[in-house]
């Protein structure tokens, strides 16, 4: 491609982007001076402060939810550990030292256990 062809393509892309941008505005908005347009459409300091307050509220709410989720997770972990300790207390020392697969074969004969080639059950 020649430099002229590349330049023509870039100009066409720029014009297309400009047309697209203009399509988002009303005729009245397009005729408004740029400074006035920005003053009307950009947030002022007061509304900017309000937006920041709202963002802070959302951040605080998110932090509360995260803390609650972590607390629930910690409780569930503790419950699982407690259940595991309780389960272990039902077994004799000999049963606890028995390999799991042998234990299942002895105590749960109707359960079928398949060992894959990689050793996973």
Tens-of-pLDDT digits for all 121 residues of the chain? 678 888 888 888 888 888 888 888 888 888 888 777 777 777 677 777 887 888 888 999 999 999 999 999 999 999 999 999 998 898 888 888 888 878 878 888 887 777 788 877 6
Residue 72: predicted pLDDT: 94
Domain ranges (residues) in the chain: 1-42, 58-110
| Backbone angle region of 97, left / alpha / beta, with phi > 0 → left and psi within -120 to 50 → alpha | alpha
**Total Cβ atoms within 10 A of residue 105:** 13
Question: Which of 102, 94, 97, 96 has the alpha carbon at shortest distance from 121?
Answer: 102
Give the torsion sign (CA, 46, 51, 52, 56): positive
Residue 66: predicted pLDDT: 94
Name the pTM for this structure: 0.44
Token representation of residue 78: 């503790």
């Amino acid at each position: 491609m020649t430099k002229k062809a590349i330049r023509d393509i870039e100009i066409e892309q720029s014009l297309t982007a400009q047309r697209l941008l203009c399509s988002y505005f009303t005729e009245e908005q397009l005729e408004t001076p740029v400074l006035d347009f920005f003053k009307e459409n950009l947030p002022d300091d007061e509304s900017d402060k309000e937006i920041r307050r709202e963002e802070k509220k959302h951040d605080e709410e998110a932090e509360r939810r995260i803390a609650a989720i972590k607390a629930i997770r910690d409780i569930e972990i503790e419950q699982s550990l407690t259940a595991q300790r309780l389960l272990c207390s039902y077994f004799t020392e000999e049963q606890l030292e028995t390999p799991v697969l042998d234990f299942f074969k002895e105590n749960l004969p109707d359960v079928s256990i398949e060992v894959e080639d990689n050793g996973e059950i």
